[in-house]
Amino acid sequence: MEERINELLGRLTLEEKVALTTGRDYWTTRPVERLGIPSIWLSDGPHGVRKIRSSDDMGLGDAVPATCFPTASCMASSWDRSLIAAIGKAIAAECRALGVQVLLGPGINIKRTPLGGRNFEYFSEDPYLTAELAIAFVNAVQEEGIGTSLKHYACNNQEFERMTISAEVDMRTLHEIYLYAFERVVKEARPWTVMAAYNRINGVPATENSYLLTTVLKNEWGYEGCVISDWTAVNDKEKALLAGLDLEMPGKGGSGDMAVLRLVKEGRIAESVIDEAVRRILRLVLQAEQHQRPAVSFDAALQAAHHALARRAAAEGAVLLKNEHHLLPLDRNSLSSLAVIGRFAREPRYQGAGSSQVTPSRVDTAYDEIKKLLGNQCELLYAPGYGSGSEVDENLIAEATAAAKQAAVAVVFAGLPPEWEWEGFDRDQLALPAAHNRLIEAVCAVQPHTVVYLANGSPVTMPWLDQAEAVIEGWLGGQAAGGAAADLLFGLVNPSGKLAETLPRRLEDTPAYLNFPGEADSVRYGEGLFVGYRYYDRKKIAPLFPFGFGLSYTSFEYSDLQCDRKGLLKGIGCRCG
């Protein structure tokens, strides 16, 4: 391939080379037909394919149907590399079916604050866990011949002032917390592209940051892939090219080419800089060409298989937070009546909004799936309990408590409404909408056997925790989350998810509380290394639920531990009697 790249570089005109450094339109790169250089298609990402019908349309909310897998918060709680690899393979197959060569994901930024507006798209507060999961994902997608885009490089930890904010972070923290996963994935999985973020890092925009793009990524880590910009993140093309950005996305209809051409002719940008960017762009498109496989069809059989995988993933990612008196799993054979409460049971919240929003191939609801499982042997009651907004509606609550009282057990489906978690802005509080909290409290007051089943992409407070007998954090579980809820509630699946991030008791306890979200385009990462559980441990602050927490229906007992000092020193652990 390198020979072919050299040959092409020799045959391309300067004009053609400059043109190649900007996309053709929203989603594709420029072809050079006379030399047989193809155009490739890049699509979001990360938890399903968002293939827009037309390549020159941003098309929010207008993608062709694909499987909507659980978002990263949920996937990460599985702590399961093989599950994440299976999802990666499935998404890659859909990319092939839909004519996409590069998937814009995974998102691997560290969750610095639970308020981060895109936290649902990111895995964890922990760099090691993030790296392990992302390596599994990238390897799986790329083994199927589809490229990935590791994003958003770097320190993309908030949405407030998202195009201009500067993350002011010290070097040790930058490398050990915020760059660690990028480094590991780059070195161990070689993503075809890395996406430079919107924000600035220590004053320098990510797309113009020669320290991050050239010194660290390309020179120290030996990255040979293509550095692309986040969409419209390039402000100054000259600075971006000189800093090591290769491909600007999306295309601007050629308007920037003349300016770059002039800069090269004036000697302000050496032609070798353009050649280096083009070399990497050619590597990307030729790689895509080389890995082309026979097209798959996203037919009914594949849709069903991927939906089943999405259901398994949603169940694996859900975390059982509380289960007093072994209320769960519910016994299908003996349960006489069940009250399913909460609008989300029939109008599920299963993914976040913004560039990651997938048009699902189908959507299961918890209500229908529970009904299917129970058949006619158990009376099923339903009450929405809250409306589409966050205001308390006493009539809906009265109807819901009446249903709850009448049944043997109540399950309340609650969480964050879509407008509360959206790319482009951060949350301003940890609380659920008042309507949801009030409903849960009211149901718990009349029904001692109440399960709360949550749908949210990032941590929420639980003022009713003592009253609810059981709680499951379902995260944003994707299009099959409803089926997963039924599987978990009735014990067809044993919950085994563990939190990939700390659930705090209150906002004031969170690591970035004093510094987030910053002001006047600057945010100081004053907590330094003490991100996530590192902070709670050091400050001895008890969280609501710690990182790694998660119950299951099985009980474990350790007894007669014998520790062998010599063995421990050698790294082999204890023996349990």
Binding site for ligand BGC (CB under 6 A): 44-45, 104, 151, 230-231, 355
User: Which is closer to ligand BGC, CB of 45 or CB of 497?
Assistant: 45
Rounded least distance, CB 22 to ligand BGC, Å: 15
Cα torsion at 297, 299, 305, 309 (round to 10°)? 70
Q: How far apart are CA 362 and CA 179, in angstroms?
A: 37
Q: For residues 166 and 355, which CB has a smaller minimum distance to ligand BGC in the complex?
A: 355
Tell me how far apart the alpha carbons of residues 511 and 572 are, in angstroms, rounded to a whole number: 34
In whole angstroms, give the CA distance from residue 219 to residue 158: 28
Catalytic residue among 80, 126, 230, 246: 230
> What strands lie across the sheet with 337-341, from one edge to the other?
319-323, 470-473, 450-455, 409-415, 337-341, 379-383
Pair of tokens at residue 503: 């659930």
* Pairing of β 193-196 and β 226-229: parallel
The Cα diameter of the chain in Å comes to 82
Q: Where are the alpha helices (DSSP H) in 153-228?
A: 171-173, 180-189, 210
Q: In this complex, which beta carbon is closest to ligand BGC, that of residue 71 or of residue 365? A: 71
Q: Taking the chain, what is the end-to-end CA distance rounded to the nearest angstrom? A: 58
Shortest distance, position 233 Cβ to ligand BGC, whole Å: 8
Q: What share of the chain is helix, strand, coil (3-state, %, to 5)?
A: 40, 15, 45
By C-beta, is 354 or 433 nearer to ligand BGC? Answer: 354
Copy the structure tokens of residue 298.
């996203």
Considering beta carbons, is residue 231 or 533 the nearer one to ligand BGC? Answer: 231
- 127-143 and 81-98 helices cross at what angle (nearest 10)? 40
Least distance CB 151 / ligand BGC (angstroms): 6
Q: What whole-number distance in Å separates Cα of residue 563 and Cα of residue 164? A: 54
Residue pair 236/202 in contact (Cβ under 8 Å)? The answer is no
Shortest Cβ 229–ligand BGC spacing (Å): 10
Beta strand segments in 47-180, E: 102-104, 147-153, 166-168
Question: Which of residues 116 and 495 has its CB atom nearest to ligand BGC in the complex?
Answer: 116
Measure the CA–CA gap between 383 and 404, rounded to whole angstroms.
Answer: 9
CB of 42 to ligand BGC, least distance (A): 8
Could you please report the per-residue DSSP string of 243-256?
HT--BBSS--TTHH
Q: How far is the CB of 104 from ligand BGC (least distance, A)?
A: 4
| Contact between residue 369 and residue 380 where contact means Cβ atoms under 8 Å apart | no
Smaller CB separation from ligand BGC, 29 or 401: 29
Alpha-helical (H) ranges within 318-422 are 366-374, 394-406
Which H helix or E strand runs over 227? strand 226-229
- Give the nearest distance from C-beta 45 to ligand BGC in angstroms: 6
The answer to whether 230 is a known catalytic residue is yes
Closer residue to ligand BGC, CB minimum distance, 77 or 355: 355
CB of 352 to ligand BGC, least distance (A): 11
**Burial profile 22-35: b = 16 or more Cβ within 10 angstroms, e = fewer:** bbbbbbbbbebeee
Q: Smallest distance, Å, CB 231 to ligand BGC?
A: 4
Residue among 104 and 321 whose Cβ is closer to ligand BGC: 104
For ligand BGC, the closer of residues 27 and 545 by Cβ is 27
CB of 562 to ligand BGC, least distance (A): 51
Measured distance CA(31)–CA(505) in Å, rounded: 53
Q: Are strands 147-153 and 193-196 parallel, antiparallel or unpaired?
A: parallel
User: How many degrees, rounded to 5, is the angle at CA 46 between CA 482 and CA 280?
Assistant: 165
C-alpha separations of 188 from 185, 245, 282 in Å: 5, 21, 22
Rounded to an integer, what distance in angstroms lies between the CA atom of residue 179 and that of residue 154?
7
The residues annotated with a catalytic role in the active site are 230
